[in-house]
Copies of this chain bind each other. A is one copy, B any other.
Amino acid sequence: MKSIDKFYSAVTNGKHICVGLDTDIEKIPNHLKNSDDPIFLFNKSIIDATRAEAAAYKLNFAFYEASGIEGLTSLKKTIEYIGEEIFIIADAKRGDIGSTSAMYAKSVYDYFKFDSITLHPYMGYDSVQPFLEYKDKLNFVLALTSNKSANDFETLTLSTSEKLYQKVIAKVNEWNKQFANCGIVFGATQIEQLQENIQLIKDLPILLPGVGAQGGSLEEVITLFKQHHFTPYLINASRSIIYASNGNDFAEKAAEELKKLNAEIVTLSSAQ
């Protein structure tokens, strides 16, 4: 299946939770730490336990790069272990001049074989374009992020009265006309702004981090998308799932947490 089709297949079937494998060697259960590759072993257990219920997996490069070459080896093994059936996002937040972005695209899409990436918009179209050339992939550009300092620049008002992040969304819509392989990142903590901009976002795929540890409300997100069912979305949950328990039952508890979120989505979606 084409990368982008995996995304649409998941969300069309009502699967919306993306499991964020932000695996921090300091936070995994102690009994794993003496193995050859604790990060991979942790991920493998989480994947085995959540595979049937996950819409997608998202791996944030930072957590793997922190352990250097070893960490990136764990990252590669994890992607191979997830396999071809499930949509996998490289949360890499890359963006550079065109010839350099082309090298990042080569890394993320050709070498690591991700289905999707997150990108910084700051440098504009030519910094994003090499990723778009991978027509079957899905490229999520940061619009409004879940962190407090999003207000430093993202929400600044332009002379045209638009906010900067609204200008980003408008541009992404424009870029999307070429191959329909763009999406945006919008923090689940920014629910009012999401509501205000849903007509601008239209049918652009959205990746929403920030539910759980960062304080975003699943109920608010689902209620919003119930009214705007044309917008395909993934909600990322990382820490609340993968660190649901710190004991021997960590994988089981992760699966329970994911099931709980999925059940909440069903309930909220069917509520009047």
Q: B-contacting residues of A (Cβ < 8 Å)?
A: 22, 24, 60, 62-63, 65-69, 71-73, 76, 91, 93-98, 100-101, 103-104, 106-108, 111-112, 120-127, 142, 145-154, 156-159, 161, 164, 167-168, 171, 214
Determine the chain B residues whose CB is within 8 A of the CB of A153 once the complex forms. Answer: 121-124, 164, 167-168, 171
Residues of the B chain whose Cβ atoms lie less than 8 Å from the Cβ of A69: 69, 72-73, 76
Distance between A77 CB and nearest chain B CB, rounded to angstroms: 11
Copies of this chain, whole number: 2
B120 touches A95 (CB 8 A): yes
Closest to A175 in B: B152
User: CA A153 – CA B169 in complex, angstroms?
Assistant: 12
Give me 7 other A-B pairs in contact (C-beta within 8 A), A68-B111, A93-B95, A123-B147 excluded: A22-B100, A93-B96, A121-B153, A126-B147, A127-B149, A156-B164, A156-B167
Interfacial chain B residues near A94, Cβ < 8 Å: 62, 93
Contact A123–B150 (Cβ < 8 Å): yes
Cross-interface CB contact of A147 among B120, B124, B148, cutoff 8 Å: B124
B103 engages A62 (CB within 8 Å): yes
Q: What CA separation (Å) do A71 and B121 show in the bound complex?
A: 26
